[in-house]
A and B are shown apart, each in its own frame.
Chain A
């Protein structure tokens, strides 16, 4: 079977610091990484390939030229082929426009490679925007069923079944292939590259698709194709730290806290 994994390169949010005086995020020196949930999606695809070597795993990303690093990273951990979709007309696309582009890219890659994708995997959300929109919206554009936030999937007999959390607990849902599944954290960790696969990825050819290659309707991409507009962004106020207690023993600290809470009417 053929699997397409959609990848987003994001800043490593764990490394973002906030300048609380200037109220801005400090993005200098924050490295770009493959979105964590996307790495689970890719690992899941590669595990399907491990079990069935006839499987081919493709990855695609929409983004600027530096997303090549993300593609190399994916190739080094088991993707067979990587495609970049890079074109300035796509700048400032919202999730709807992004999904439109990715749906067209999926079709274009299928045509170029002479394959059809049975399964499209995405991360359940990207660490920068945190929306979780692109998977379902891509499914809508392709008219495929969707399963979101899966932590475990199995593919069998033309269906994919996935365990996903619900507001009550969890459920196992099956979808008819082809389908879009967005992946949450899995029980397994993404594998490491090896020195060998890393060097091979450095030498791999990574085709770049432009808007023209995808025969896109210009009205559907970039700012023009994005109904959602970001009006402003700001760093939220944080409350200042309160009283810190550090007595000789844990017991004394606990007693002091209890007295304070009682006085303040908290308990």
Chain B
């Protein structure tokens, strides 16, 4: 086990852009605690920009696997590449973003490497003596947190919510050792193929990046009423989110879903409109700095987590709120 050294972070690449750079902040904390290197792993086709971003965001070393085989994410291709890298370099731990592809990849890789895995982690600590990581993660729909360890196997694997860490200021003057690995996939490794891509990119600011999120739930009542939320979000330079109930009702795309089975957001201001506050939803927005709840039901659980609450109908309150903020800004 002592052969296994260094904290690895897998950098997600989406449309050529490096994602999950926040994980480098978490990885840095762990690496420093055990005085090991923070290594970014970049897999893709055309990775130069992502490599630069990884360096600027704090990686000591970059492992790059660049090739046409990796142009699109595939479970089997990426698992194979990481298996080869892990076999050669023996990392102590690998952090993977708890994104849709990360949560597809990590369990497959953990089974390939016969090691433990903690899913969807919100916090990380490390024992400086043993190098064992304590992965904190929600279970039971966020009702409970569990601390997971993989004391007897290496590498230690976890998927980590990007929102668990804040990205540091990138330092473009930083340098790091860049190691390119050529890993050719044996024929027939990938048994899946992408038939169609459906872009459902939400207009305007991305939900995860927005500083203000105006979210709607069952109480919004219709697609038309979501326009009221959009108006307020636009005014405040924010994005529109939704609870699962609103997505299920078909009022808004799943891309906007916040919660246990949707996105995790941590904006400066979260405005929950007609959202009762089921624990599954709270799991996706509890990191918000300030929470405002607007709900007709004075007993809705959302008020328990809200800093400010308005008891009332969103159809009355939202336009008035938009108007009042407009005046304030003028």
- Seen from chain A, the residues whose Cβ lies within 8 Å of a Cβ on chain B are 11, 13-14, 16, 18, 25, 94-96, 99, 125, 127-137, 139-141, 144-149, 161, 163-176, 179, 184-185, 226-236, 238-246, 249-251, 253-255, 257-258, 260-262, 266-267
Residues of chain B lying within 8 A (CB to CB) of residue A169? 197-201, 255
Q: What is the distance, in angstroms, from A130's C-beta to the closest C-beta of chain B?
A: 6
| A231-B317 contact in complex given A146-B108, A166-B101, A238-B304, C-beta closer than 8 Å | no
CA distance A14 to B301 in the complex (A): 13
CA distance A94 to B145 in the complex (A): 16
Q: Are B292 and A232 neighbours in the complex by a CB distance under 8 Å?
A: no
| A127-B320 contact in complex given A146-B104, A168-B199, C-beta closer than 8 Å | no
Residue from A137, A140, A176 having most chain B Cβ neighbours under 10 A: A140
21 examples of A-B residue contacts, CB within 8 angstroms: A131-B117, A134-B107, A140-B108, A145-B191, A149-B104, A165-B254, A168-B201, A173-B192, A173-B193, A173-B194, A173-B195, A227-B152, A228-B149, A231-B147, A232-B146, A233-B144, A241-B303, A245-B309, A250-B313, A253-B312, A255-B324
In the complex, the number of residue pairs spanning A and B with C-beta atoms less than 8 Å apart equals 255
Q: Is B306 an interface residue (CB 8 A)?
A: yes
Q: Are B114 and A96 neighbours in the complex by a CB distance under 8 Å?
A: yes
Residues of chain A lying within 8 A (CB to CB) of residue B143? 13, 16, 18, 25, 235
CA distance A245 to B316 in the complex (A): 14
Q: Is B176 an interface residue (CB 8 A)?
A: no
Q: Are A233 and B110 neighbours in the complex by a CB distance under 8 Å?
A: no
- Seen from chain B, the residues whose Cβ lies within 8 Å of a Cβ on chain A are 12, 14-15, 19, 75-76, 79, 99-101, 103-104, 106-108, 110-112, 114-120, 134, 138-153, 191-201, 236, 248, 254-255, 260-261, 268-269, 278-280, 290-292, 298, 303-313, 315-318, 320-321, 323-325, 328
Q: Nearest 10 A-B pairs (CB), nearest first?
A: A250-B316, A169-B200, A228-B116, A227-B116, A254-B320, A140-B111, A145-B191, A133-B107, A258-B324, A242-B307
Residue from A161, A174, A254 having most chain B Cβ neighbours under 10 A: A254
Q: Of the candidates A149, A230, A242, which one forms a contact with B148 in the assembled complex, judged by CB atoms under 8 Å apart?
A: A230
Residues of chain B lying within 8 A (CB to CB) of residue A134? 107
CA distance A54 to B255 in the complex (A): 37
Q: Are B193 and A174 neighbours in the complex by a CB distance under 8 Å?
A: yes
Residues of chain A lying within 8 A (CB to CB) of residue B201? 168-169
Residues of chain B lying within 8 A (CB to CB) of residue A258? 321, 324-325, 328
Q: What is the distance, in angstroms, from B281's C-beta to the closest C-beta of chain A?
A: 12
Q: Are A132 and B103 neighbours in the complex by a CB distance under 8 Å?
A: yes
Residues of chain A lying within 8 A (CB to CB) of residue B115? 96, 227
Interface SS of chain A: helix, strand, loop or mixed? mixed
Q: Are B269 and A245 neighbours in the complex by a CB distance under 8 Å?
A: no
Residues of chain B lying within 8 A (CB to CB) of residue A94? 116
Q: Are A231 and B100 neighbours in the complex by a CB distance under 8 Å?
A: no
Q: What is the distance, in angstroms, from B287's C-beta to the closest C-beta of chain A?
A: 11
Q: Are A233 and B146 neighbours in the complex by a CB distance under 8 Å?
A: yes
Residues of chain A lying within 8 A (CB to CB) of residue B144? 25, 233-236
CA distance A167 to B14 in the complex (A): 8
CA distance A167 to B303 in the complex (A): 30
CA distance A117 to B307 in the complex (A): 53
Q: Are B320 and A149 neighbours in the complex by a CB distance under 8 Å?
A: no
Q: Of the candidates B103, B118, B291, which one forms a contact with A148 in the assembled complex, judged by CB atoms under 8 Å apart?
A: B103
Q: Are A241 and B306 neighbours in the complex by a CB distance under 8 Å?
A: yes
Q: Are B308 and A243 neighbours in the complex by a CB distance under 8 Å?
A: yes
Q: Are A147 and B111 neighbours in the complex by a CB distance under 8 Å?
A: no
Residues of chain A lying within 8 A (CB to CB) of residue B100? 148-149, 164-167
| A228-B140 contact in complex given A137-B107, A146-B75, A242-B308, C-beta closer than 8 Å | no
Residues of chain B lying within 8 A (CB to CB) of residue A255? 320, 324
Q: Are B112 and A140 neighbours in the complex by a CB distance under 8 Å?
A: yes
Q: What is the distance, in angstroms, from B242's C-beta to the closest C-beta of chain A?
A: 14
CA distance A134 to B106 in the complex (A): 11
Residue ID in chain B nearest A18 by CB atoms: B143
